[in-house]
Amino acid sequence: MTAKRIDGKAAAQGIRDRIATEVDAFRQQVGRVPGLAVVLVGDDSASAVYVRSKARATEQAGMQGFEHRLSATTSQDELVALVDRLNADPAVDGILVQLPLPPQIDEQVIITRISPDKDVDGFHPVNAGRLAIGLHGFVPCTPLGCLRLLQAELGELSGKDAVVVGRSNIVGKPMALLLLRESCTVTIAHSRTRNLPEVVRRADIVVAAVGRPNMITGDWLKPGATVIDVGINRTEAGLVGDVDFTSASEIAGAITPVPGGVGPMTIAMLIRNTFVSAARREGYSYEKSL
């Protein structure tokens, strides 16, 4: 058996096309387009690539992008002042400060300074709390994209056993909460989990977000499991995920590739969150399944 390859690129394009249509209708009714401000501090090459792809996606959706590139020596106070200006700017619906930040800047200070209503990354403690107790807020883009891929592949998720390998605030924890919200039985596993392969092997759904290249191999998987690989690891052989794609494809029912799986969905969800922010701020009615 060879697993079905889940095409995140095609899924993301479908979502972005729908958003572009919504943006056009929004512009006609409201008289402006949604705006996303992206802040890049320093010259980290990987971060610069992400920022460029986000800017391109913003433009393709018909939204306005505001790019702020600051030097690596920018002080925390200077960045806080910029965030405050963006919070107050009515043309800006979403604010994204690209992580990681230089060592002189405390990431938590910046994350908590962004208005929760413009926090399209979903990292603010208020949005994390809203997700935890089931209120409407912004959900981090990567886990939200993973959920959309799972729903498209499996339909109803209720009652399925899900294992999330990884416990970060950005992916692991919110992913587990989203799956719980869909009535899955959820286990969060991590580097200290005993008998990790056995824990993973009982799952109908495996979300790998641990940051270790090819860690999860085919013999860890339950036959027919759906595998979502969030890992992006740079190796001498190129980009690889946290799952060994070759061996996992022989056991899984469906699996996301790296690249071309979760990555495009992350950017699609960022564009989606920005549109939703604009719609909420303007009292504009939109398709809730977006």
Residue 37: closest CA among 244, 270, 224: 270
Q: Which of 93, 117, 119, 121 is catalytic?
A: 121
Residue 73 in this model has a pLDDT that exceeds 80: yes
Tell me which of 157 and 238 has the higher pLDDT.
157
Determine contact, residues 221/254, Cβ cutoff 8 Å. no
How many whole angstroms from its chain centre is CA 144? 6
Indicate if 204 belongs to the active site.
no
- Confidence at 44, pLDDT banded by 50, 70, 90: confident
98 is catalytic: yes
The CATH 3.40.50.720 portion of the chain extends over 141-263
Q: Has residue 290 got a pLDDT over 90?
A: no
In the chain, ranges of CATH 3.40.50.10860 domains: 31-115
Least confident among 47-51, 73-77, 179-183, 229-233: 47-51
Q: Which of 93, 98, 118, 244 is catalytic?
A: 98
- The distance of Cα 19 from the centroid of its chain, to the nearest Å, equals 17
Average of per-residue pLDDT values in the chain: 96
Active site residue 7: no
Helices 125-133 and 172-181 sit at what angle, rounded to 10 degrees?
30
Would you tell me how many other CB atoms lie within 10 Å of the CB of residue 199?
16
Instruction: Give the type of residue at 199.
Output: V
For domain 31-115, the CATH class is: alpha beta
What pLDDT is recorded for position 43? 87
Give the predicted TM-score (pTM) of the model. 0.95
* Count of CB atoms situated within 10 Å of the CB of 38: 21
CATH classification code of 141-263: 3.40.50.720
Closest CA to 66 of 34, 43, 112: 34
Using the predicted structure, report yes or no on whether residue 1 has a pLDDT greater than 80: no
Q: What is the pLDDT of residue 47?
A: 87
Q: Is the pLDDT of residue 17 over 80?
A: yes
Asked if pLDDT for residue 213 goes beyond 90, the answer is yes
Share of the chain above pLDDT 90, in %: 92
Report angle CA 123, 126, 128 to the nearest 5 degrees.
Answer: 50
